[in-house]
Structure 1
């Protein structure tokens, strides 16, 4: 097994005596004509237009996109797995959590709902807890007005049920008729309760529907969930209005779905004998009562048309919400069949939607006939995957590095309160969200120079993990089969923790390198803001918030999109070429003063660096940057 942080599999840093020979070879290579490491490197060296030169903000809804989800059925993947990917859009802190399975006493309850501070005011209530809840992996976050933290959009549980939450705006009349206060579980409650209680995707829908039927539903204007297991998927849409309206549609082995927003269109009027659909009892009758639908002569109801809102106008080039047109994106998924795990990771990472508002990246790799339930895997990027690596987390893992736990950066309410000393030691650790956000802000300022290299590095890093994961799973399985579950879980825990730590070290190295190159090539672009006559402070001391909540569109916020994804195209256009383990810089090199990134395109960018490469060959593999 490769030592995490070293070079290709099975190769660590060479011993010191070997470095003299390496230096001689490096010097010879340095004198030869150099070829860019990536096909697009030569173009990336040209300073790109700064982010601030993009078209001026358009007036439009701030929440034109809140989250995204992708489903690909098992007959359309290269290994017969079901793939479920996506992320939530939240300007909030995010942190990984492994929640253990738990037993609960008789009479235990769960708090659900929202407070009066929500946009649609709610009231917190208690509902009965079940006797046993399942283990699950999730990314928590802290900020959504009136919705108590920790919040979640979903994750993966021990039964290989994966959940994603995606917004789905209800029609205006439904939003307006929502009672104040409203009661019942909200989107995060449902996601968490499904992970805690469901053993299949179908059961997850049944659980959510029963909870809404019995306790009501709290909403900010409509929502949906995309749920999957190793066999099938389901789209669940919950409508605003306080009427308890919900509907669900099954996704089979040959189906794809992009929830951006979540939607259901044709829904049968007679669904009693149709196992592919579920819904509230008055789903059709309520629409008739409101004169929104006439059932006579119809066999189905278009739920998006009747209860929802339309997609941005075809063909999906709406300036306020670029690329947010699910039919077009679903065509991309179909065209990519058979789709690989790497394809789905790249789809979630695509700069068209992975930007400053993306809280994380998740891909559930749902496999039939797992050798052991603890091997179920969720790949998680700690913030937007466009500039952050995925780490594989098996459901059998028992703990995470402290760095990946909750921190105060972007956490709701932190600026108004002192830190509780109980959390001080945890807060002292480096926070990957902050590290990879810094990388995003540098990269997206000059995407032509940096984005391709950053992507290649992270995809190479992930390729190294893919090289090792099979061996690790075999080692864990041997322990499980020998009856030593603790040891099997320890193997899985060490694997993910070591790679997560390496990912943070790699991110630190990349930030330092890109920062230095930015300062050398462009300097730091300082903010330019108009100030009122009664303010004497400089622009850098003014409010850093992006616009008003009613005038912010998708492309106003920080993003690396180069017009259709990367410089060389979208996920579909880049399919077939994946991460190269050799593209990862030796970020563990220990010698000070020189950059240890020989495999990055910018180090081999021209013959002017030749002698420097030769002279640095003796210690490139030995330098180590501190985290």
Structure 2
């Protein structure tokens, strides 16, 4: 029996079954397929997803990277400045014994210089020190999405209880701080794992992109330092939920489209999981769960279906990816925020690197544009105590008094989600059409604002930054005003039409259960054919 839950979406009984079926998987693929396919959506948590569209398939020749973070904790926007660090500076990485797979914290060297980047931080994941990140966008237009990717049960079982090394968040943050290209970000992640190890919660991946290309990077449980990466080119699309890689050639270390740990093939052969005569290695079959997480998937729409839909949209626009990230088949109460990085070639100034961010699940929240050159975040979009780890048993730090006094964007749009998703057949189209109209206005304004900012940057960096900051802050304020208006109208209508029922007296408000979703005419907890 496993003493801890390796997969956040499996109960302990399911885990024991997964270990057994994992050992028998070569002869019983249908059994393990049925196990995972039968998992209800409400059991899937802390997962996150990502969408990549290559430059050959987009409307303007840019690369688009979208997605969300799925964590039940507070999320807040942060712009981290470029910094210089003293020689010998160290940073703490990893997790604690309280993690789902126990670990201990360790230290790795900090880079002498770290780049400016935008990120959505969050406050809680079992045993992982806050603040935690799924990635973001840096000043070199390197964008990163962190996405779950479960390792096969035997790897979970062999993970050391005192594992050390960077965790998924550490890897994303250090890559943002240090990488000038997507390829370099992969090399940084791989080198960190090779030298310091990897702290896992059960397997993970990163989807990384720049204006030229993308990369999928998988890190595996087991304490063996296993990792692998695959390049995504201009004509590729990828929907990661979870992250996956299929065939990897035997010459992967000299192939420009692949990277990986030295033991990627040899360890699989030692375990009897890979036949050397087969040549290439199917990563999903050998180290993952055998394709069953991609088709049929664990959300109401599978990654394979999303990829087909993206190809049907070609040429894909920023609005198209926003719509996909907002899709109620995916964006529900689990989604802590939505994000779309617009990675463009030949920017007039590096500070014009752009990412659109929705402050909570984008099914009912607007995307607002944030450039790397923006110098601050409005207090309403910064750290608040709503859903923040350790908020309930403590009083506030007076340093945050005035910021906490402001309205929290995440809470505002979460309330709008709860009202809208209670009666989506009545409210969803109204809310989403209003949000897309608001975003369309900003998309029309952007070229002019960026031309003005480029001229201002030619005079001074302060002037350029001021142009971008004023625009982002103004639109962020408009987004709050829009949310207040929608919320007030829908709240009044719901109370008048339906009332607010009293919850059962013996119910636990934190008991979870079904995810709040805006799906109409479909039950996300029922398996699909």
TM-score by length of 1: 0.76
Larger fraction in helix: 2
CA distance in 2, matches of 1:374, 1:244: 36
CA distance in 1, matches of 2:403, 2:220: 40
- Deviation per residue, 1:163-187 (Å, 9 max, x gap): 0000000000001100011100000
Partner of 1:333: 310
Runs (5+) with no aligned partner, structure 2? 1-37, 524-529
Q: Assess, with a 3 A threshold, how the Cα gap between structure 1 residues 563 and 197 changes in structure 2: closer, same or farther.
A: farther
Q: Assess, with a 3 A threshold, how the Cα gap between structure 1 residues 141 and 441 changes in structure 2: closer, same or farther.
A: same
Q: Assess, with a 3 A threshold, how the Cα gap between structure 1 residues 272 and 59 changes in structure 2: closer, same or farther.
A: closer
CA distance in 1, matches of 2:117, 2:39: 41
Partner of 2:520: 562
Partner of 2:326: 349
- Deviation per residue, 1:216-242 (Å, 9 max, x gap): 000100000000000000000000000
Q: Please say which structure displays the higher CA radius of gyration.
A: 1
* 1:322 aligns with one of 286, 296, 300: 300
Partner of 1:607: none
SS of 2:396's equivalent? coil
SS of 1:332's equivalent? helix
The question of 1:148 aligning with 2:124 is answered no
Partner of 2:4: none
The question of 1:494 aligning with 2:479 is answered no
- Deviation per residue, 1:110-134 (Å, 9 max, x gap): 1100001001011111100111000
CA contact (8 A) 1:67 1:88 kept: yes
Cα shift at 1:314? 8.1
CA distance in 2, matches of 1:503, 1:314: 35
CA contact (8 A) 2:229 2:259 kept: yes
Partner of 1:377: 354
CA distance in 2, matches of 1:422, 1:315: 49
Matches within 5 A, 1:507-586: 507-528=483-504, 538-539=505-506, 542-547=507-512, 556-563=514-521
* 2:458 aligns with one of 481, 498, 508: 481
Cα shift at 1:425? 1.2
CA distance in 2, matches of 1:72, 1:406: 31
The question of 1:253 aligning with 2:234 is answered yes
Runs (5+) with no aligned partner, structure 1? 1-56, 529-537, 566-627
CA contact (8 A) 2:318 2:342 kept: yes
Partner of 1:283: 264
* 2:207 aligns with one of 216, 221, 226: 226
Partner of 2:280: 300
Matches within 5 A, 1:416-455: 416-455=393-432
CA contact (8 A) 1:85 1:363 kept: yes
- Deviation per residue, 1:374-426 (Å, 9 max, x gap): 11100000000001000000111000101111000001110011111121111
CA distance in 2, matches of 1:448, 1:155: 34
Greater RCO between the two (CA within 8 Å, min separation 6)?
Answer: 1
The question of 1:196 aligning with 2:174 is answered no
CA distance in 1, matches of 2:293, 2:244: 15
Cα shift at 1:310? 3.3
SS of 2:135's equivalent? strand
Cα shift at 1:299? 2.5
CA distance in 2, matches of 1:315, 1:89: 20
- Deviation per residue, 1:293-333 (Å, 9 max, x gap): 1112x2310001000013447862x6x6322x322221111
CA distance in 2, matches of 1:498, 1:326: 36
Partner of 2:3: none
CA contact (8 A) 2:242 2:293 kept: no
Matches within 5 A, 1:46-57: none
- Deviation per residue, 1:428-467 (Å, 9 max, x gap): 1100111000000000000011000000000011011112
* 1:270 aligns with one of 251, 255, 264: 251
SS of 1:360's equivalent? strand
CA distance in 2, matches of 1:113, 1:369: 37
CA distance in 2, matches of 1:438, 1:273: 52
CA contact (8 A) 2:295 2:303 kept: no
Cα shift at 1:525? 2.6
Cα shift at 1:58? 7.1
SS of 2:87's equivalent? coil
Cα shift at 1:60? 7.5
CA distance in 2, matches of 1:66, 1:172: 17
CA distance in 1, matches of 2:339, 2:97: 31
CA distance in 2, matches of 1:119, 1:62: 15
Partner of 1:410: 387
Partner of 1:82: 63
CA contact (8 A) 2:79 2:119 kept: yes
CA contact (8 A) 1:114 1:122 kept: yes
Partner of 2:7: none
Structure 1 outlier segments of 4+, above 3 Å? 57-61, 310-315
TM-score by length of 2: 0.90
Cα shift at 1:521? 0.9
SS of 2:357's equivalent? strand
Cα shift at 1:63? 2.7
